[in-house]
């Protein structure tokens, strides 16, 4: 599987600003890293501001230091380790949320069966499923087939769809990074 993303969208620019290295070629580490970067953005922005002030404010008594190659190698290694860990932590968080929702649904079903009886619960359940299927089918036929093909192919829809497919097929889609500014200027 492959998905095409722009190198100049806000997420990839934020990723490169934080890590200062090339973008990952797989969607799973990029997706989960972006989730954590968004959640931790106040901390990251504060850290970046402090480091910017530390690196760019020069005092007369202190000469500016250049960073050795070992520093950048260690930093790249830390970034790779962070990508691996963030992918694993993301899967754990998704598992916790899915388990939480499954428990809530089971409790709701038990309470419903207790209050109205098993047969009435089945009637209500099949009615709700029928109405939901009818609504989804109508929306699909009216909007998706005619008007929604651009929306369905947009990255807003395709990234979550590809992530669900990655979990189902146990493989992450490959990202094809394109530079959209070159197409605009030509």
Nearest alpha-carbon partner for 77 in 123, 21, 118: 21
| pLDDT tens, residue by residue, 76-120 | 898 889 888 888 888 898 899 999 999 998 998 888 888 888 888
**Cα angle for residues 170, 172, 176 (degrees, 5° grid):** 160
Residue with tokens 């020069």: 58
Q: What is the pLDDT of residue 100?
A: 93
Q: Cα–Cα distance between 121 and 132 in angstroms, integer?
A: 16
Residue with tokens 């969208």: 9
Q: Cα–Cα distance between 76 and 70 in angstroms, integer?
A: 10
Q: Is the pLDDT of residue 2 over 70?
A: yes
Q: Cα–Cα distance between 186 and 181 in angstroms, integer?
A: 9
Q: Cα–Cα distance between 48 and 137 in angstroms, integer?
A: 48
Q: What is the pLDDT of residue 61?
A: 64
* 1-10, 62-71, 112-121: range with lowest mean pLDDT: 62-71
Q: What is the pLDDT of residue 186?
A: 46
Q: What is the pLDDT of residue 184?
A: 47
Q: Where are the domains of the chain?
A: 2-55+70-180
């Amino acid at each position: 599987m492959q998905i095409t993303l722009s190198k100049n969208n806000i997420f990839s620019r934020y990723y490169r600003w934080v890590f200062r290295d090339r973008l990952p070629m797989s969607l799973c580490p990029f997706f989960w890293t972006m989730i954590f970067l968004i959640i931790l953005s106040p901390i990251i922005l504060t850290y970046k501001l402090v480091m910017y002030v530390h690196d760019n404010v020069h005092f007369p008594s202190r000469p500016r230091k250049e960073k050795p190659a070992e520093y950048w190698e260690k930093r790249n290694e830390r970034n790779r380790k962070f990508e691996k860990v963030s992918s694993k932590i993301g899967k754990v968080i998704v598992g916790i949320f899915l388990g939480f929702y499954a428990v809530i649904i089971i409790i709701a079903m038990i309470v419903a069966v207790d209050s109205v009886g098993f047969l009435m619960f089945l009637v209500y359940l099949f009615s709700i499923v029928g109405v939901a299927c009818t609504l989804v089918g109508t929306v699909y036929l009216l909007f998706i087939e005619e008007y929604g093909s651009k929306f369905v192919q947009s990255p807003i829809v395709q990234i979550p769809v590809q992530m669900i497919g990655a979990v189902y097929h146990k493989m992450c889609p490959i990202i094809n990074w394109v530079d959209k500014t070159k197409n605009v200027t030509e």
